[in-house]
């Protein structure tokens, strides 16, 4: 079995989480690091033993690159992915799939028309923690799922990130930055969303960089920084969600699924492991259910995509799932602007479960 040739486009902070894994997973071979800042691309390539580095255009022109891992800023996701598809490459996008919903729809359609794959983060949903929670839901451990509650509350990434502007611009904010982890998890556990309603607000019109060499610099806030949403799932279950960069009280990784027989506390959707807690009626202490499966980290969705291409099967963290999540997030904003519930048109099936023995660190089937 030969590894699939990969180019990483976008060598910022998140590439430092992908590259240790992608350069170790045997199903992929990272052959090029690309960035608008070529010096930064070369530094990443040298750090992780990648042979070649240069511009995004050079990456897309290479015949030995089969798949582009697109780690650019959110506002560039759609354009970079479209260019990669036009060059005949499969694409893995960091979340969100695109900033504009029509651009995302066009990406998914272009890939299908050209016989190519589009995958998209988060691939945390393939990790041991979320898959363990899914097995509990699917086994009937909580009875019929009725309601979901999720919360992500912080003061925002301007407190720790040296260049936080993109978190507060198009494609950013707590909904578009962190929402995909929680919404993809809910879709994995409960299936697609059928309708949403939302309310939003913004705590401040300007923010200040509070970490790194640019400490003290200010910048405009272009998006809502506190979002409350109601979710109606096609299954009949309901959900409520809070995503905030305006909360002095920090709550992260909070996901609960209430069923007719028990309530499930799901591990952090922004992680790959963690036990689930099963709260049974009349029992004071929850039952701790340890996770089983891979905790290899970011990039396991790339491996799943590569193996799916070889097998001619659907990949799990798909463009269709990411499109659905993006439509849900976009509809929250529409509801907040116009009032009332907004229907979701992009129905998507739950991805296939991941076997606990699935291992990205060993070669997959030929």
| Domains contained in the chain, CATH given | 4-120 (3.40.50.720), 127-289 (3.30.360.10)
**CA separation for the pair 362, 360 (Å, rounded):** 6
Residue 137: name the closest of 269, 258, 238 by CA. Answer: 258
**CA separation for the pair 8, 71 (Å, rounded):** 7
What are 104-124's pLDDT values in tens digits?
A: 999 999 999 999 999 999 999
Residue 59: name the closest of 23, 78, 34, 39 by CA. Answer: 34
Residues written for the chain: 366
pLDDT for the residue 255: 98
Q: What is the mean pLDDT of residues 10-37?
A: 97
Q: What is the mean pLDDT of residues 68-73?
A: 96
Does the pLDDT value for residue 366 go beyond 90? no
Helix (H, G, I), strand (E, B) or coil at 355: coil
pLDDT for the residue 258: 98
Contact call for residues 172 and 166 (beta carbons, < 8 A): yes
Q: What is the mean pLDDT of residues 63-73?
A: 97
Q: What is the mean pLDDT of residues 321-325?
A: 98
160 CB contacts (<8 Å, ≥6 apart)? 210, 211
pLDDT for the residue 299: 98
pTM equals 0.96
pLDDT for the residue 319: 98
Alpha-carbon Rg for the chain, nearest whole angstrom, is 20
| Chain position carrying tokens 């989480």 | 17
Cis peptide bond prior to 122, omega within 30° of 0: yes
Half-sphere exposure of 317 toward its Cβ, with a 13 Å CA cutoff?
A: 33
Q: What is the mean pLDDT of residues 148-172?
A: 95
Does the pLDDT value for residue 329 go beyond 90? yes
Does the pLDDT value for residue 161 go beyond 70? yes
Average pLDDT, the chain: 97
Higher pLDDT, residue 166 or 129: 129
Q: What is the mean pLDDT of residues 180-199?
A: 98
Does the pLDDT value for residue 349 go beyond 70? yes
pLDDT for the residue 365: 86
Q: What is the mean pLDDT of residues 162-170?
A: 92
Q: What is the mean pLDDT of residues 186-204?
A: 98
What are 307-322's pLDDT values in tens digits?
A: 999 999 999 999 999 9
Per-residue b/e over 36-47, b at no fewer than 16 CB within 10 Å? eeeebbbebbee
Does the pLDDT value for residue 1 go beyond 80? no
| Chain position carrying tokens 């019929």 | 144
pLDDT for the residue 26: 98
Helix (H, G, I), strand (E, B) or coil at 88: coil
pLDDT for the residue 171: 85
């Amino acid at each position: 079995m030969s590894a699939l040739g990969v180019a990483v486009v976008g060598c910022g902070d998140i590439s430092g989480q992908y590259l240790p894994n992608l350069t170790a997973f045997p199903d992929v071979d990272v052959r090029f690091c690309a960035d608008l800042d070529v010096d930064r691309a070369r530094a990443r390539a040298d750090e992780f033993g990648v042979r070649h580095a240069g511009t995004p255009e050079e990456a897309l022109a290479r015949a030995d690159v089969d798949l582009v891992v697109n780690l650019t800023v959110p506002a560039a996701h759609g354009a970079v992915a479209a260019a990669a598809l036009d060059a005949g490459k499969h694409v893995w996008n960091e979340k969100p799939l695109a900033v504009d919903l029509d651009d995302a729809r066009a990406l998914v359609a272009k890939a299908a028309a050209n016989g190519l794959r589009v995958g998209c983060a988060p691939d945390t949903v393939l990790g041991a923690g979320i898959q363990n929670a899914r097995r509990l839901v699917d086994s009937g451990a909580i009875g019929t799922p009725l309601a979901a509650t999720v919360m992500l509350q912080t003061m925002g990434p301007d407190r720790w990130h040296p260049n936080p502007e993109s978190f507060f611009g198009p494609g950013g904010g707590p909904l578009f930055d962190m929402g995909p982890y929680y919404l993809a998890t809910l879709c994995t556990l409960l299936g697609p969303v059928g309708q949403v309603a939302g309310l939003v607000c913004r705590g401040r019109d300007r923010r200040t960089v509070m970490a790194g060499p640019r400490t003290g610099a200010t910048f405009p806030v272009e998006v809502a920084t506190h979002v409350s949403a109601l979710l109606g799932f096609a299954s009949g279950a309901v959900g409520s969600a809070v995503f905030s960069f305006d909360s002095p009280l920090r709550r992260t990784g909070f996901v609960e699924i209430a069923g007719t027989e028990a309530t499930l506390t799901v591990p952090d959707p922004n992680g790959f492991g963690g036990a689930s807690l099963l709260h049974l009626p009349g029992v004071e202490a929850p039952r701790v259910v340890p996770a089983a499966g891979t905790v290899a980290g970011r990039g396991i969705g790339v491996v799943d995509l590569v193996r799916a291409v070889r097998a001619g099967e659907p990949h799990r963290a798909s463009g269709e799932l990411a499109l659905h999540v993006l439509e849900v997030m976009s509809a929250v904003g529409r509801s907040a602007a116009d009032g009332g519930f907004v229907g979701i048109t992009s129905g998507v099936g739950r991805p296939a479960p991941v076997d606990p023995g699935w291992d990205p660190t060993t070669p997959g089937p030929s």
